[in-house]
Amino acid sequence: MEQKKIIFSGIQPSGELTLGSYIGAIKNWVNLSEEYECYYCIVDMHAITVRQKPAELRKRTLSQIAQYIACGLDPDKNTIFIQSHVPAHAEMAWVLNCYTMFGELSRMTQFKDKASKNAENVNAGLFTYPALMAADILLYQADLVPVGDDQKQHVELTRDIAQRFNSVYGDVFKIPGHYIPKVGARIMSLTEPEAKMSKSDKGSGSCIYLMDKPEDIIRAFKRAVTDSETVVRYNPETKKGISNLMTIYSVATGKSFQDIENEFAGKGYGEFKLAVGESVVELLRPIRERAEDLMKNKDYLTQVYRDGAEKASRTAARTLRKVHKKLGFVER
């Protein structure tokens, strides 16, 4: 039998999952699970590069697992686990730190951006974050890493690190490629359509969380920033707000941009925004209800993340052992 290709991806539990996380990432993950062997990780170790409140981090990590499952990720077909439960990630990150250059890390735009936003806490973990991400990916010999554009630079650095290591020690790591999904790769903020919808923008109305109540969703869409024209037309250059809403509506209803332009020809933005809001309420309703149910079943969630960690550990240990041997570490 032909070996399935391997996919690895992760989301930080640094904020609640958003409509952007669903459309841009998790929805695509669900479609990949037949064709690929998939590892989906909740990267709590990455999350602590920025200060977190312990009780909230714990709760969000668990609810992220519930939400993954509620979005349709089947734990029997995908390996769902928590990064800190597989110590090989920390061990491999240390090794890779020694094969990652100061200059490379200094050039990472996410580091520069986060360092300027958290000037009081520019810690070493924030700086070496990409080496931990490389460890995540390389431990599983992933072929493909589905990520948004903002993470492309980190995946490219992962390739460089893997190539550097391989050039010294032979073919140890698979060189991963990134995978940017075709539709809705990037859902934008509802209030600033130039910026990506971010889970850390809490309370600004810019972002829809998967667990938001219907009335909050409708309110946010009613307030969404559009433009001074009155025509529903797709043009992501000049009509960023409307185009973002059209993308969302298209994903929620399955309608094409042309269908949507026809449906709202001669109608105002108010009517369009309400329709988008209602479609999102219906899209998220079953996800929210399922996740709420799952959150009541802690034993089941525990089972899922323990099984996931056990499975992930087996694969990760194999790669780590090989790396340690190549480096000249004495076998345990």
Instruction: Kindly state whether residue 10 participates in binding ligand TRP, applying the rule CB under 6 A.
Output: yes
Kindly tell me which residue out of 145, 251, 252, 276 binds ligand TRP, with binding defined by CB under 6 A.
145
Say which of 5, 114, 174, 326 is annotated catalytic: 114
- Count CA atoms closer than 13 A to 205's CA, side-chain side: 12
Instruction: Kindly state whether residue 8 participates in binding ligand TRP, applying the rule CB under 6 A.
Output: yes
Say which of 27, 196, 239, 273 is annotated catalytic: 196
Residue in the block written with tokens 């064709």: 35
**By the 8 A CB rule, do 315 and 139 touch?**
yes
In the three-class reduction of DSSP (H, G, I as helix; E, B as strand; rest coil), residue 82 is classed as strand
Residues whose CB falls within 8 Å of the CB of residue 119, separated by 6 or more in sequence, listed in order: none
114 is catalytic: yes
**Quick one: which segment of 49-57, 129-137, 202-210, 301-309 binds ligand TRP (CB under 6 A)?**
129-137
Instruction: Kindly state whether residue 126 participates in binding ligand TRP, applying the rule CB under 6 A.
Output: no
For ligand TRP, the nearest residue by Cβ is 10
Instruction: Kindly state whether residue 12 participates in binding ligand TRP, applying the rule CB under 6 A.
Output: yes
78-82/177-179 β-pairing = unpaired
Q: Please list the residues that pair with 81 across neighbouring strands.
A: 41
Kindly tell me which residue out of 151, 189, 226, 279 binds ligand TRP, with binding defined by CB under 6 A.
151
User: H helices then E strands: how many in the chain?
Assistant: 14, 5
Residues 14-43 that bind ligand TRP (CB under 6 A): 43
**Angstrom distance (rounded) from CA 225 to CA 235:** 15
Instruction: Tell me which residues touch ligand TRP (CB under 6 A).
Output: 8-10, 12, 43, 46, 133, 136-137, 145, 147, 151, 154
Q: What amino acid positions are annotated as catalytic residues?
A: 114, 196, 199
